[in-house]
Amino acid sequence: MNTILEHRTWRYATKKFDSTKKISTDEISLLLEATRLSASSYGLQPYHVFIITDTQIREKLKPVSWGQSQITDASHLIVFANQTDFTGELVDDYIKNVAETRNIPSETLKGYSDFTKSKILNFPVKTKEEWTAKQVYLALGNLMQAAAELKIDTCPMEGFEAEAYDTILNLGEKNLTTSVVVPIGYRSEADESQHFPKVRKSKEELFTHL
């Protein structure tokens, strides 16, 4: 089987992690870099990623994650938090980054800056938050696929109380809200889910070629 498909068949939403196995520093760095390189609309990346290893914080988060053991047993807990609102500063910071990274005058990017602002700054606040949350899932996908390439297990989770996470992690004062949580580590041999055949729609049902 092609390794691309092999790795995606291998991965599953891990229900039980082996708490004795830890991801190496080099592998964590690689996973975070893959996440950093993710695509996002207009390149803006309107979110922040928290890498939580502190056991006390994770113990606080477990009860507001429906008591799921992955929160405390996985090697690392990744929390994606999207911006709840934004101003033109989000675009300005990106334009500055582009100019510095590519060593070009920021004035040459004014057209792109104005275009981007015209498309997103007039969104209602609720739409802004929904839009930034969508960007998180692009990064989430890259993290999960990179982990699968390294045979590191993941479990994307929406089963948690976002407001409680925001309080515990002090996200409100940072203009952020928790959108998705991803425990990462190594599956426990006791996790029976790893032996289940992967269930997906058939190609015929899922795809339409026009």
Give, as one character, the DSSP assignment of residue 68: -
Determine the Cα angle at 50 with ends 45 and 51, to 5°.
130
Give, as one character, the DSSP assignment of residue 198: P
Tokens of 90: 């989000």
Tell me how far apart the alpha carbons of residues 44 and 116 are, in angstroms, rounded to a whole number.
10
Tell me how far apart the alpha carbons of residues 145 and 156 are, in angstroms, rounded to a whole number.
12
3-188: CATH number: 3.40.109.10
- Predicted TM-score (pTM) of this structure: 0.96
User: Residue 116, Cβ neighbours under 10 Å: how many?
Assistant: 20
Going from N- to C-terminal start, the domains of the chain cover 3-188
The contacts of residue 104 (CB under 8 Å, 6+ apart) are: 98
Tell me how far apart the alpha carbons of residues 20 and 38 are, in angstroms, rounded to a whole number.
30
**Strand spans (E) along the chain:** 47-52, 76-83, 153-154, 176-185
Residue ranges of the chain with per-residue pLDDT less than 50: none
Q: Strand, helix or coil at 209?
A: coil
Q: What's the pLDDT at 2?
A: 85
Q: What's the pLDDT at 93?
A: 98
Tell me how far apart the alpha carbons of residues 60 and 165 are, in angstroms, rounded to a whole number.
9
